[in-house]
Amino acid sequence: RGLMSYITEAKTLMEVISQGQDSVIPNVIINTCVLIDDGKTILYEKHFMRVVAQQNFSKYNISNAKSEAGMVVKGTMVSVNSSSNIGAVVRSVLSTPNLQPHSPLHPLKSKPTFLMPTWDVTNKGELVVSITKTVLDKEGNLLGIVGVDIALEDLAEDIIFYNDFRRSYAFFVT
């Protein structure tokens, strides 16, 4: 669990998020989850995670083009007091894809589908994200579906230790 020791750390992080948001074309929604230890007070951290989810750059006097144009899509901050129910909490907060045939999120569309994290009971009991993609023939008929489960811990580790920020960017979005 990360604790903020100085308000300058919060401003620095918000500046990085602002630069990242302004440097990409699509809007990025940030959802945050705070694991609360009942024995410790973390009011500032909880408040800060809400600011991050809402991408409230004005709170730290940071100029952001998308925010000023009203184009920032606010995310959600969730508090949980146990890591054992984090998957259920995250699933309940995030909207489920619209499965209507005309929706770009329909399973038979060509884009990959990222499912909400679930506990993998058959393997190590890890929290995993399933990624699925339909396989279509030339006429668009369904041939099958392929998928893979990726441990959320492995994904988070790759993002946390990502260091090629000069030429590209990385976001961890759930």
Percent of the chain with pLDDT over 70: 64
pLDDT digits (tens, 9 = 90+) for 22-71: 887 767 778 787 777 666 656 778 888 899 989 999 999 998 888 878 77
* pTM as predicted: 0.52
The residues, ordered by sequence, that sit 6+ positions from 128 with a Cβ below 8 Å of its Cβ are 117, 118, 119, 120, 149, 150, 151, 152
Q: Where are the domains of the chain?
A: 1-94, 97-174
- Using CB atoms within 10 A of its CB, is residue 21 exposed (0-12), middle (13-18) or buried (19+)? buried
Query: Which whole-number Å values give the CA distances from 49 to 13, 19, 95, 121, in the listed order?
Result: 11, 18, 20, 30
pLDDT digits (tens, 9 = 90+) for 84-118: 666 666 665 554 443 444 444 444 556 777 777 77
